Chains A and B, each alone.
Chain A
Amino acid sequence: MIGRIFLLGDDIDTDQLAPGQYMRGGIEAIAAHCLEAARPDFAPSVQPGDIVVAGRNFGAGSSREQAAEALRHLQVAGVVALSFAGIFYRNAVNLGLPVLIAPSIDGVVDGDLATLDADGGVLQLTAKGIALPLDPMPENLRAIIQAGGLVPYLKKRFAADDKGPSQ
């Protein structure tokens, strides 16, 4: 699926991804204001399959997983960044949002058309014919993403155990 790249800078924080004043609402309200302070055009124009590319420390700040959930709700194909904040990275995996570390994002321009191969670890800039290599995700995390997130992953595990913890 070909999508459009939204190119963002360093330290994109969770207050931008999931603004506090909408946190008492549901994910639709939060997603409608996702990145409003940094990129007011993002939430209104993002399409399913679009890709977020960013600099260092994407997802800095809060543990609110609505930051990752909002991007999932908007059906972005994934986030490619030079690095991620630790809690955001874990949240994204747990919600089934592909998050991939790029050793370099040189050559990526906002609005570029691209495809993201999360399993193969490649961001293909289709119009430019450039293939950006991405670091492969650790195997234990890929298993969670492939299951669709932690909840479906745990369901499978409990079914396999044949006995979930009971209370």
Chain B
Amino acid sequence: MVEYRRAMSTVLAPIGRFLLAPWRGRAWRDLWFVILSSALSLLPLGLIGLPWAFFARIHLPSILACTFLALLAAVLLGPQLTTLRRSAYHGIRGAQIPRAPDTARDAASADAPFLPRMRARLRHPRSWRQACYHLIAGPAANLVGVIAGTMWVSGLVCFGWLSAAIAFGPHWKWLSMATSLALWSALLCLVVVYLTSWLVMASVRWDLKFATDLLGPSRAERLARRVTDLTESRAAVVDAADAERRRIERDLHDGAQQRLVSLAMNLGLARATLKDLPEDARTALAEAHEEAKEALGELRNLVRGLHPVVLEDRGLDAALSGIAARSPVPVQLAVDVPRRVSPTVEAVAYFMVSEALANVAKHAQASAARVDVWLDGALLRLSVADDGIGGADAAHGSGLTGLEQRAASVDGRFEIASPVGGPTTIVVELPCEL
């Protein structure tokens, strides 16, 4: 029983929605919207119509002149008309027409005197897109809406009249008609009402779509905006990760490292002074001391890898010698960066060299490596070369993918040349400023 009702409701609900649609508030609000929107459309259309009425004849040059004048007016009055539309749409239908972004160009022309401002408007593609809406797309949608709306209302009136005629019989004094004909006509009116009410709602949808596309930001502007947003959010993510590394480095430096140094020192002192302990106690003490020192070394390498203080303090050149010296493969290092670049880029370059040398040590079987870092105009370039077995492939091995991602995080470029048999050279280009 329950299932039967559910099945019935799935069949009946859409039919009910269809039948009720023209009688719902939304349909009537859309009709109201069409009327107001058409009134707004008359404003720019009047720009064409009025001069035309003034010339009052069908004559090609005057038609062309009027069209040109209307276009000029629509372009020059574009922002005002657009503002009017936007607030009307928001007020009547709650629809938000997105705003075009304010560019530097807009800001510059806003303060300009009247004539240059108008000149800037004429040159701006946005003004022409808006004029296209005000003069063509908007009025066209409204025209459809107005025709459909008129038919809807007249259909309703006729339906009522015919219903009355059926009720009062074929000899009613206001409409004398055969009942069967009246029945068919009433049915026809009902069909018209249904069709036109849907058309009115559709015309409003078209109108809003045109308005969004033509009055709002263009595709290029939307994409430009998106690029700006993504660039900013990516920079924020990179900075946040950097700040987090610094925080962890600082915490470990102030906490665990100092404690461990102190522990190792005390163990060392005990080992040096307590000479008369039993043999096994001395051995245990010695082992504890050695392990504390090893832990200290491991922690130091980890912590320095997180964020070298010398990098922000003295720059890339100073920070890289630490990495080069710790590399198990002998490294020759040449840094020629006479000025400081953006801290984020410095960090990216530092960690890229660090990872590249780690890769060399792990995979290349090289006997020597060479690191070069130099400035080339607005670019920071670095190359890491080794004389190992080559055959490194970005498709395999996360090390190279990591390098690529690091470069990409600041819009940098990463290239690797690594034929089988070697040698391997990594070349990286990073912008100095973000």
> A and B bound?
no
